Amino acid sequence: MITTRYGVAMLDRGGHKGQLRGMARISSDPTKGPDSRKARDGLPGPVGAAVDGFERHLKAERGLSAHTVRAYIGDVVSLLDHFCAGDEERKGLNGLGLTVLREWLAAQHADGASRSTLARRAASARTFTAWAHRAELLPHDPGPRLAAPAPKRKLPTVLRAEQAKSAMSASQAGAEQGDPIALRDHAVVELLYATGVRVSELCGLDLDDVDHERRVVRVIGKGDKERAVPFGVPAEDAVSRWISAGRPELATDASGPALFLGARGGRLDPRAVRRVVHDAVGAVSGATDVGPHGLRHSAATHLLEGGADLRSVQELLGHATLATTQLYTHVTVERLKAIHDRTHPRS
């Protein structure tokens, strides 16, 4: 047995360093593709039942999105597939300790997983073992003792304030002819930039989520947490015009209360929003191509540059912790440094 940076590698009987236990059973990304489904179906009954219970917990009790649940379950299935390797008759989770968790991460490190991927999978494992301990499926929770490399955080790509303004103007020019799709697209980019909401939050908005008098939108964010986000006059004008002149042209019996509609009358899809944002930003000469999340990053950065305090920006964006919001302070500092380097005679 050899200790590695992330855990324990196994030796074969001849004393040579062999393939890490379970390594051949781990795909490059256990959350995707048919291998994850096959591995889950191949888990022993009690272990598979634990995965089912954990999935219900994530959906019903934590209210996580389908994408997040899928990622958690893929990681946990990979862990338990590694845990059960060679023991198809395993009766439960007894034996799922710190050594197994470290072996699992070590196998993926050897298989080329990135630091951010290892950090995410370690977080998934800790969440699962904490739940299993509370559910009395594990006598002890080994998760808190599992270390993983901190992911390298990249500064988000953002638009400059004048570029964002130009993108809004380009979108508004397209809406001047009164085409319902163009009216919708203008309302979408204005509201995204004005509020900094996530694309999934925008697509989930209903008509009665918008308070036009107070210029506040009610958003249901991650974990089904509700927050109220203000927006300005340009976004109010764009949304009101869409509702009065554009939405009735696209609405069908299947539209329901959805605020934004697709061309066939259904609720607007996030992929369509990404196309809308790319088109609006692409009309600005010299602007970096960004999607809806780039507008969110830009909104947060411009708020801080305008003097907003970090805690208020955290509330507006719906971040669970202030540490996530603090990333944007680095963006503004980098911009200040660039301006200083360009303009100060002693830079």
Q: How far apart are CA 320 and CA 325, in angstroms?
A: 9
More reliable by pLDDT, 326 or 193:
193
- Output the average pLDDT for the chain: 83
Q: How far out from the chain centre does Cα 258 lie?
A: 22
- Between vectors from CA 180 to CA 178 and to CA 185, what angle results, nearest 5°? 100
Residues catalogued as catalytic:
198, 222, 293, 296, 319, 328
The tens digit of pLDDT for each residue in 268-308 reads: 999 999 999 999 999 999 998 999 989 998 998 888 888 88
> Each residue of 38-68: pLDDT tens digit?
788 888 889 999 999 999 999 988 888 888 8
261/267 Cα distance (integer angstroms): 5
% of the chain with per-residue pLDDT over 70: 82
β pairing state of 226-230 and 8-9: unpaired
Distances (CA, A) of 306 to 57, 136, 215, 324: 41, 51, 20, 19
Bridge partners, residue 17, by sequence: 11
pLDDT band, very low/low/confident/very high, at 91 (cuts 50, 70, 90): confident
pLDDT of residue 232: 93
More confident residue, 183 or 334: 183
